[in-house]
Amino acid sequence: MPLWIVYHPPSTFTTPEIKKEFAQAITAIYNTILPAFYVNVLFQPIEPSSFLIGAVARPSPHVAANEPGQKSDVPFIRLTIEHIARSLPTPEIRDSFLKKIDAAMKPFIADMGYDWEYSIDETSRDLWKVNGMVPPKQDTKAEKEWRETNVPAPFKKADGGLEGEGMEGSKL
């Protein structure tokens, strides 16, 4: 599952529509290989007095005391991205994926004139469950069914590539 947490000032991402459009752009990055329900996007507004970059509230009136540095009146967006379902195993795949992220963010962050930063963590899928089930492995029959139906449903271990691993593909 990709989990995106978008930390932002309350003055940004102010409507349900803009959040939905951004979440749709993020989901589109993954929708050819993952079920859409794997993609989680959380918008976490942070008050400027609690969102400090280099010890300067963002956004806040830009004053000489904030120099040198970025203009403090520009909102700063921080994104953390966690990957469990897939990893980026080669530099070529990584670079291609980062370009997709940049393109998805452009209309919602770069084109708005905001400053931003993001990072991606890849965690072990061995400690991940969906509705009490160990998700099927990549490109298996069960994963294809999950992607087509966009619903996590019980499956046979063999259909999910989990045979011989002691993992259960059904609810406990």
- Percent of the chain's residues with pLDDT above 70: 95
The model's confidence at residue 141, banded by pLDDT at 50, 70 and 90, is very high
Tell me what pLDDT residue 171 has.
Answer: 43
DSSP sequence for 91-145: HHHHHHHHHHHHHHHTTTTGGGT-EEEEEEEE--GGG--BTTBPPPPTT-HHHHH
The pLDDT assigned to 140 comes to: 96
Flag whether the pTM goes above 0.85.
yes
How many helices (DSSP H) and strands (DSSP E) are in the chain?
3, 6
Set out the domains of the chain in order of their start, with CATH numbers.
Answer: 2-128 (3.30.429.10), 131-172 (no CATH)
Establish how many alpha carbons lie within 13 A of residue 95's alpha carbon, considering only the half-sphere containing its beta carbon: 3
pLDDT at site 165: 66
Distance between first and last Cα of the chain: 20
